Every structure is written in structure tokens, then in C-alpha cells.
Structure 1
Amino acid sequence: MALRVVARSNETVPATAKPVAAQRRLMAVMLADVVGYSRMMSRSEDETHTRLTAITRDVIDPTIAEFGGRLVRSMGDGLLAEFVSATEAVRCALEIQRGLARRQGNETDPIRLRIGINTGDVLVGHRDIYGNSVNIAARIEAVAAPGTICVSQSIYDQTRAQPEFFFASRGRHRVKNIPYRISVYEVADQPIRRSLLAGLGAHWVGLAAAGMTAVVATMAISAVLLLRETPALARTNRIVVLPFTTADGNPADDYLADAITDDVTSELSRLRRAWVIASATAFTYKNSANEPREIGRVLKVRYALAGNVRRTGAIVRVNARLIDTASGANVWDNSFAYETSSLLDLEDRLLGRVATSLNDDVKRLGVRHEVGTLAADHNPLDARMRAMAASTGYATPEKFLETRRNAEAGLKADPDNARLLALTAHTLMGDVLNGWNGAGSAEVERAEAAARKAISLDPGVPLAHFALGYVLRLHGDHAAALASFQEAIRIDPNFARGYAQAANALVFLGKPADALPMVETALELSPNDPAVGVFYWVKGRAYFALGDYPKAIEALSESARVRPNLWYVQAWLASAYALTDQDAKASEALGVFSTRFGAQFNLDRVTQYYQEEQYKNPTLQTASTEMLKGLRKAGLH
């Protein structure tokens, strides 16, 4: 039954009241319609009303609120909601469908929804929203199959870079009261499976009658084929930027080559279909003679971008080559050679060249701020390059201090440089979280001020949102921390550490099952990341919180192997062994813990640590209680 766009009110409006003028707003609109509503009502009005009321109360309303939406109207057979974010609208719709599936898993006649989402200008009245954008959303919803979500071209364009979304085209449609064809895409949280018949039907929907004979024959053949998986229109170009080198071997310019590598990696995230391996993993290949085909096999990438830089004064010349790792051949080689004193020009030129080669397109950015030249004279840009280079590789107190000093030097000359502010905030929080360089509460305040200023100057710097997420976590505001980490990966869909910390925030919020896909994405994006031990730690604690101790042991063991200096990893590992009655391994793990960390952490100190504000949610309290129980069983006193 189609959703009717009307407003209802039981209030009486005085005859003398002046009508409130409608305002226009840009927003995402979600419409949902109950499949088979008339049939269900004709069978049993009371039962249908009771079921729909319960689902709206328990699933739909809280999910809309969770994703920052507003329920505009609910009319029994459907609903209309508005969102300020296209991404959050899609996430909300996916979670509603998942929630219905979980709730009704064993029901023979489950309630199913069709959902349509569009974005655009709407007229906002006193109690309702109107306009062409709402009408298009209603038409798109009618195209959706029962239990699925369909979106408009505008929603697709704004969200297709999100790694958790998978799309399949549902063709172009002529719909009632819209004078042009609209493109419709189905969206899901996993690759979409459909028959070849359906795909051909969508593709040929606009063919003239003269061509239909061939179409019918082809569709008849396709009807006997098995379902095939439609590749997501998400990120299909997998690429790694290998560490750039200096053309003349000048070690004084190594930092410049490293910084350009890191910057170009970030810039490639503007490619809409690019899956870009994190620079942290790429740097493990620095000064390595690995053959491109081997790199492609290990990192599961199709392309590798390599190059070198040569600086003369403020002018930098870049020679780059794009390599097809399947064959080892160059897609192009030394055909990109650009001399510039502007880093932004250099990056844009190189990004455009790669985009053309991969048949990809580039997300537009606003005005970017950068003061200084590429001269090696410690001007603001040079200071940022030195700071970025110092932050690559494995984190140490010395590296963080060098990074911060270079960033702060650049800020003296360019106090409104958002990237330098973000680097400062990130290193300050790194020092605080690791207990390095005497950092304490004063550094948390400085980090928060720097991160918020960076965001106010340029909200498109992912590291600023990432650093703010750490600040908010320390304040115990895990929902806000999650939002910050999610914003970082929305801006840079290849930000591996952003995924890992978003996963960690989900564990803090009591959603360990939701954390696991996020941390797997982090591991895929940066399998050799210097912080990969933390990735496995997040994964291990998520499994521990779910009570799956064998999988927790597997992840925590890997974390302890690559990061043996993290006391909490060793503690949770010893506990997991004890809780699975692996007494010998528990004793061995506890021995390692006591040898390395016993001077600082006895049972009372560990207990006190897990009574802090940030751990006060039911899921983590339960997990922490079980962890302490396991440590006692293992023999910690």
C-alpha cells in the first residue's frame, strides 16, 4: 500500500492565526511502507495493529533516534523520517531492516518494509515536510522489493564511498508525476545477490518494442541460471602507494619523500571507487626490493603507485609510475613528471592522472589551506612535511616529540593550518594514552583545543576528528567518541586506525558484535600496520565480551606477539586461558605478565583500573568482572 503524503492534526487553529510560511531545507528523506498491509488488516485488524505498534516502539523509533533522524509522521501503513546526513539515513534504514529480521526470525508471516531514500530541497511546514524530493522518495520506495532499500542517484553519489554499503543498479524508471526518468539503486550491508534475469530486466527496461524479441530470448535463457553475486558499486580499485624515494639519494630529503607518500595516500581516498592500503602498511616496504607482483599478492591489490622526488630549491619534480601488479607491467611510467612549488597542485595533478587510468572519479573538496613552499627552510609547509615524516612507522616517545615540535614550529608562522593542528592534537593524545613525555591532563586540554580548532577551520581533516575521538573517550563520552571516529572514516574511507578505534568505541558502548566487522576492515586496509597489535587487541576484547573465549585467545595471542609491551593484552589473554581451563597456558601467560608488568599491576591495581568511568557500561562491566575472575583463577594476587 503506498504511503500517503498528508498531515494530520487534532489541534484547532484560531481563525485569526496567521499561516506559518514554509521554509526550504536540504535534507535526506526516508519513506517506509508496510508490505501487504491491506491483506494483514483484512485478516485481523487488532493483531496487525498490535504487531505494528510494538515494532514501531521497539525497533523503528529508537533506530531513527540513534542515527540522528526525526520521525515526521507515522500512519499505520508507513512512515516518513528526515535526516541531516545521507549516510546516517542509509545506516538507519539498514539497521531497521536488520532489527526486523532479528525480531521476526521465527515468524511465518513477518512484517516487511519497503524503504526509499532521497535527498534534496524540501518544504518544511509546521508539522510536515513536502515537495518534489519527498515525492521522489515515495516513488523510489515503490520500486523496492519487499524487505529491501532503494535510494536515488543523489543518495548513491553521496554514500557510495562508504565501505559498509553495497549497491546494485535497479535501472532508470519513469514514475508518476515526475517528468524525467529517475535512477534507482538498491543498497545493502553485504554484496547484493540477484538473478541475471533481474539484472537484464533493469538494464533493458527502456528498450523499444522492436528490440524486445531478442530481449525476451535472452531473458528466457537467463531464467535458468543460478543466482550470481552482483559486484558492489563500492570500492573496486585496490591500490597501494609504495614509499617514494629521492631521485638523487639525498638523505636530507627523505622526510619529503615520506611525507609526499603519506599525503598522496590520503589524497587517493578521494577516488570514489578506490580501496587504498594504509600508508602505515605501505611503509613496511620502504627500502625493500619486493617485486610488484608479490606485493599485489600479499596486500591483495591490483595496482601499486611508485615514484621518486627531486628537489631544487622550492621546486620539486616528481616522477611516478602506476604498476599493474597482476602482470608487473607499468600502466604508465615516467609519463608523469611535474615541477611545482605547490604541494596542492602536485597532488591534484597526480590524483587526476591516477583517476583517469583507473576510470574513476574524484570527490570534490572545498578550498584547502596551505601556507609555504616545498623549500627545505622550515617554512610552515616544510614543517608539516617534517612532522608527517616523523610520525610514520612505529610510534615511540621520541617520534611523537619530534612530530609535535615540527608541527608547533609550523603553527607559529601559520596558526590556522588545520593539518598542523590535527598533528599536534594527535601526538598530544598519543603521549597521554601511552604515558609518554610526561603528558597528563594539561595535554588532554591542549589536544582538545587543537582538534576543535582544526575542525572549525577545515572539517575535512580526518586526523582532527580522530584525535578528538580519543579526547572524548577519556572524558567517558563513548557515543560522541564513536561519532568522531566515524566522521574520520567518512572523510577518509581508507583510514584503518579510524576503523579500529570506531570498533573500540563500539565495545565501550556495549556493542562488541558490531565492532568485529569494523576491526576486520582495519586489518584488511593495513595488515602490516605498526598499530596492528591494537587492532587485534580490540578484536580479542570484543570476542571476550561476547563470551567467545577461544576466538578471544586467538586474537589476543596475535596482539601479544606483535605488541608485547601492552599489559592489558597479556592480562586478558591469561584470563581467557584460565576461563577455558587451559591452566598451563594461563600460568605461562600470567608469568609473562608478572615478569613484565608485575611491579605496576597487581590484582588490586587491575581491579581499580577497570572501575574507571570509561568502563561503566553493563557489557564491559560484565566482561571486566569475568576477566578479573579469570586472573584470580590463573593465580594473580
Structure 2
Amino acid sequence: MKRSLAAVLAADVAGYSELLGKDTEGTLVALRRLRSEIFRPTVASRRGRVVKSMGDGWIVLFQAASDAATCALQIQDLLARDGSRSELSMQLRLGLHLGDVIEEEEDVFGDGVNVAARLEKIAAPGSIAISDAVFGSLDGTLRPSFDDAGEHDLKNISKPVRVWTRGSLPGRKVSGVDASQRPQIVVRPLETSDQRDEVRELCDALTGDLMTYLGATHWLSVSARDTGRRAYALSGRIRASGGRLRLEVRYTDPEQTELWSTKIDGDLANAFDWQDETAETLVNQVMTATFDSERRQLDKLSIADMSANQCELRGQIAIDRLDPDAFASALKYSSAAITKDPSLPHPFALALVSYLSATAMGYDEVTEQYASSVPMWCAAAAPLVENHSLLRLALGVTTYSQLREPSRLRSVVEYALRQSSSDFVTLALSGWSYIWIGDHDEALDCLRKAHVLGGKSPWALSIQGGLAMASLQAGDDAAAVKLAREGLNISVGYTTLYRILAAAHAQLGQDDAATKAVADALRLQPDDSIASIQARNVFAVTGAANRYISGLRKAGMPE
């Protein structure tokens, strides 16, 4: 008998008996796909352990409530995406609780299991119900994903349980989003001939990581199998000999031309670290190869020949440097996308975020020609915000830049995170929003998660800059210096990083380094000053508490 405290996930296929009655063979095929392509890889990628399987249901244990909640969110999001474009239309009900668990032989029971199972029963198909114990263990990026459903009396549970739910949000169709217009990547489940459970679980976990990280952007459509569309494809095999591992991976473009292949060695004794490092390496290579391939194809077309979706993708790819040329391209392509199809929400979001970011950085030569368009973009975008968290957030930040109402922006950010807690663009913009209103710990939570999911995307530099700024404002000047320097290794034209360096060095008393960083910033923007920086930024925190501005003063930035 083994007793432990664990986060318990109870999962059940909604309406399974009815599905079997309608189409027994098709239901069994769909269930096998659900298990092998979505449930098992996602559970493994979050360090979960299936301790009981009931055919159409599972009990899974996690060491951390955050891993259990993240796993539940990812499973429902993957099911919603997959079900919207294929015959796989199964829905799961998920329940989560943190409590005592007793494992004996092949059975598991205890308070943790009982409450999780009861929560699963009250969850709607496609939704998640979690206990207050789980909710209290989550960080600021996960809590907004759940709504307070109040106290509930659960069958055979002595005390009422406060329940938090994520309802049908993952499965709602976002207006104007057409997955067929996005580059598709098929992540085929990694294979192995090794019969050991730990090697097979490693294959599942790494497959789940790849699908999670590559799927954390609306620019890519990620699937576990071919859907008949032109698609990039990632396939691989893990070979094992004793404790040694070798992963052989191949990535091809939609014409089945190999873009790259690689071999990554490791050892089974350090499987968790190897899994994390390998996932990061592969995601970096896949995103780089995909965006480079798409850029090459799109650069062959004139704007007149591009679709609205193609214009928006080209604008997103352009934003990776955060210098004036990058924002000029992002605004050019996003405004063209809006003209071509004003019913699409993403181009409005890109245009507004690019305009606001360029304005905050002082790139007036870029923004001046679009200033008159911003009110029209806001008016046209307002009817499109239903179920589109990023556009709602972009509009919220635009309103905040004009009205400076922190509480209003905080509400918009929380709503955005509730709908899209795994979208790294939403996380990055939410992190910057928290910086502006002075919630620096919340900002770091968002930006760290954004870095995990999108640290190799075109938004990587914005995420890096946000982490540096949030660290400075939170008082970790050494981290701010390190992060800013890492960002400058990516792009020397991102002026904000020089200003962060100057402020952080000044706060540390490193006057020579601070002076040099100010000089570097003024070399790129000679007319910059404390007054102009304050005028174009939207910080709610003022005075000495704003360590960015006070640090720039100490560093010698002209008033």
C-alpha cells in the first residue's frame, strides 16, 4: 500500500455508450486515436502517470497541481481543434482535485480520487471542473482560465466543495479563423521498437511536448496525423541500447522535400532533462525552418497577389527584430490584410499591437502614416472580439494607452488569459500589460510561460524584452542586465534593451556601464529624453517606484 498527496485528474468520454450504439467500429477507432494521439502524449509531457484505465475513462496522478491543470487545458484544446476538422468528435469531461491517494496493487482510491471523480461527473462535455484546493495552487497565468462556480454538494462527499470551471471556451469557434489558410504541421507520434515502459513513455511525452509548443500559436495548424492538406511533417524514432538513447528526426516541407534531419543522443538516467532540452531544440528548428520556408514562398508574391491570411502571416514573421524596419513591415502587411478582408480578427490585433509597440519605442517615422487609421481599426475590430481574446486584449491596451485605467486593463487581461492561457502571443501581451499597470510578479509569470511556449517564435525578442523590463521593475537588476544582453545578441536595433541596461546598471551602482548603455540608446534615438519616454509609455507606476525611469535618471538620460 502506498499513500501520497497528489493532484488527481479524472477523465471520462462523454456519451460513450450512445456513441457505441450509433457506430461501434468508428467509436473504437476514435477512442484509440484519442488515447494514442492526444491523451497519452499530453499526460506524459506533463509528467502524469495513468494509474487506472476503465476503457473510456482514466485516473491520472500528478505531483503538481499546475501540471495537472495545464494537462487538462491542453487536452481539451487539442480535442476541440482536432474535432473541428476531422471525424474525431469525442468530448471529455475532466475533474481535478488535490488530496490523499492510496495505491494498492492495481487499484487507487482515497479522498483525492473520490472528489476528482465527482467533479468529473458534474463537468459538462468539453469542460473542466477543479476543486478550490487545485485552484489555490495555480499561478497567475492559469487561475484566469477558470471561473468560480461556487460551492457544490458532491455525492458521498461530506463537505461542500468550492468548484472552479472552464466551460465551453476551448471548443468555441473563433470567428474569422480558417485553419485551412494556415501552414499545417503534422507531428507524427515518435516511434520505438524498445519494449521498456520508460522508453515508450518518453516517446509519448516528447510527442506531447512538440504538439503543445508548436500548437501554441494561431499561425500554425498542428495535427497528429495527415488530414489530406498540404503539410509540413515531423517524424522520428527513438532507438535505445541499455541506458543510451538516440533520437533520429526528419522534417519535410509540403512537397515532401527534406528541410532537415538530425540525431540527438542522450541517456535514460537523465530522461527528463533530455526530454526538455530535446523538445526545445526541435521546436527551435521546426519553427525556424517553417517560418523561413513560408517567408521564401510569400516573398515571391506581391501584396496584391497575397490573401489576407498570407499578409497577416508575413506581417507576424516580420516582427521578429523589433527595430523600425520590422514594425514598418508588420504594419504594411497587417493593414493590407485588413483591407483585403476586414472580417478577420488577427490582422487587427497585429496592426494595433505593432502600432502601440512602435509608438512606445519612439519610432515616430514608422507610426505617423498609420495614426489616422487607428480609430478606424478600433471601430471595425470591436464587433469581432467575441471569443477572440487576443483582439480583445489589443483593443484593451489601446484603450488603456488613452484613458490610463489600470483596473479596466487588468480585467481585460484576466479575460484573455481565461480564454487563451497557452497562446504565447496573448501571454506576452498580457505580461507587458501587467508591467504597465505595475503588477510585476504577474508579468513575470506570464512572460516566463510565454518564453517556454514561444521562445523560438517571431515574438521571442518581445518576450525577452518583457522579462528584462519586469525583472528591473521587480528589483532584480542583475537578471535584467543578463536578459537585456541576451536580447541584444538577437537584435542590436531593439533600443528599449539599451535603456533597460542603462537603468539596471545604474540601480546596481555600475555607473560606467550605465553611461555606455545610455550612449548606445542615444546613438539609435538621438532626441530621446526622460520626458519623451514618459510621454509615449503607459506606466501606471510613477516616481522612485518606477525603477526603469528612476534608473534612467541615475544613468544620465537627458531630462
Coarse TM-score class (shorter-chain normalised): 0.3 to 0.5
Q: Which has the higher helix share?
A: 2
Larger RCO, structures 1/2 (Cα 8 Å, 6+ apart): 2
Structure showing greater Rg: 1
TM-score by structure 2 length?
0.48
TM-score by structure 1 length?
0.43
